[in-house]
Amino acid sequence: MRRVILAIVCIALFGSCDDSIVKSDYKATNNGFWNKENTIEFNFSEIDTLQQHNIFVNIRNDQTFPYSNLFLITELTYPDGNRIKDTLEFKMALPDGTWLGKGHGSIKDNKLWYKENIVFPSSGVYTLKVSHAMRKNGNVDGIVNLEGITDVGFEIVKSN
């Protein structure tokens, strides 16, 4: 009986592993408030330089996030110093207010496309910086403390 239970546990553990994920990390905001000056930075290395990859920006939000979309500024720095800077917009809710993303309860995980089929051309340390660029309609100044974003992360997966 013990062997059967052990075998089931092993199968469940090995079956749940996703070998397509290469790198993944999250960083928490300040008690659910993301200050516009708080650029969240991730460093990663040891990436296959021949394989194509997809990069996602992962956002966790709670019910206090007051908007249906999210504007981000990302900057990917290569080991040779080259940089790619992008301004991105993502839908966070449907028009009826239903949150997009996965999860039950008040926290939703959003896996947002950033780069598709990218090849990292050289080995070394890469840096991904993410900041928010939210503004209220009609205001030039950005929102200083964006409420409702609890964590910011990234994920790199092997492209199929």
- For residue 11, being part of any structural domain is answered with no
As separate numbers, helices (DSSP H) first and strands (DSSP E) second, the chain gives 1, 10
- Work out the average pLDDT over 87-102: 94
Q: How confident is the model at residue 141 (pLDDT cuts 50, 70, 90)?
A: confident
Q: Is residue 1 part of a domain?
A: no
Which CATH number goes with the domain that contains 146?
A: 2.60.120
Does residue 5 lie in a domain region?
no
Please report whether residue 2 resides in a domain.
no
Residue 73: inside a domain: yes
Q: Is residue 49 part of a domain?
A: yes
Per-residue pLDDT reduced to its tens digit, 8-51: 544 444 444 556 888 999 999 999 999 999 999 999 999 999 99
For residue 14, being part of any structural domain is answered with no
Domain presence at residue 79: yes
Domain of 116 in residue numbering reads as 20-158
- Does residue 104 carry a pLDDT above 70? yes
CB 34 within 8 A of CB 149: yes
Copy the structure tokens of residue 155. Answer: 């994920």
| Domain count within the chain | 1
Question: 10 Å Cβ neighbour count for 29?
Answer: 20
How far apart CA 62 and CA 30 sit, in angstroms, is: 14
pTM of the predicted protein model: 0.84
pLDDT in tens, 51-62: 999 999 999 999
